[in-house]
Structure 1
């Protein structure tokens, strides 16, 4: 598993409308710009632009059916995105644990210094 994060991929899924589109495509199996625009608060043209971004990073793929382009989520690319998110989450969990230990150590030192000062003043 690669620990490198694909910035283009995360830029693409960073948009809430695109995430909602992925959810709809996963739920329905596939969809068109028209069918997605009927369920989203954006125009068909905006949906088409969002789909182009998702297609460029490989999260969706289009096939032509008559005059329509039907989009499907690429399961492998989505799984790759999930792995990356998990790796980033684990790295941040480790960082936060380290910050917590440092903060607790500082707090213990401050508490000990306060206790010593109080004992001297008694």
Structure 2
């Protein structure tokens, strides 16, 4: 069984990247705008955005002289479905354990 954390979940595991994704999920923003709002340098924001872009969670586009970053809702939906599948599997396992425990009473 492969227990290595998929890259998308590793990317989401960082608090700063999570904050960036939540922020741009509401409204696209440039790295400069994000750096003004978060307690992180612009250079660090750019690196975090690159990680999010590499796993497909962020799209980048030019808007005049600015580079704007936005959440990729299609990829986020995929990740959400993956998480729901994991939760459903755990629910089935827990239900099985409960059934065994109750049958032993």
Q: Where on the TM-score scale, by shorter chain, does this alignment land: which range?
A: 0.7 to 0.9
Structure 1: which 4+ aligned runs deviate by more than 6 Å? none
Deviation at 1:55, TM superposition (A): 0.3
Query: How many residue pairs were aligned?
Result: 101
Deviation at 1:89, TM superposition (A): 0.9
Whole-angstrom CA distance in 1 between matches of 2:81 and 2:45: 26
Q: Structure 2 matches for 1:68-107, cutoff 5 A?
A: 68-106=66-104
Q: Which residue of 2 aligns with 1:10?
A: 9
What is the SS of the residue equivalent to 1:38? helix
Q: TM-score, normalised by structure 1?
A: 0.73
What is the SS of the residue equivalent to 1:62? strand
Q: Deviations over 1:32-70 (max 9, x none)?
A: 111112222222222111100110011111112344321
Looking at CA atoms only, which structure, 1 or 2, has the larger radius of gyration? 1
Whole-angstrom CA distance in 2 between matches of 1:74 and 1:24: 13
Q: Which residue of 2 aligns with 1:26?
A: 25
Q: Which residue of 1 aligns with 2:34?
A: 36
Q: TM-score, normalised by structure 2?
A: 0.83
RMSD of aligned C-alpha atoms?
Answer: 1.8
Whole-angstrom CA distance in 2 between matches of 1:77 and 1:51: 15
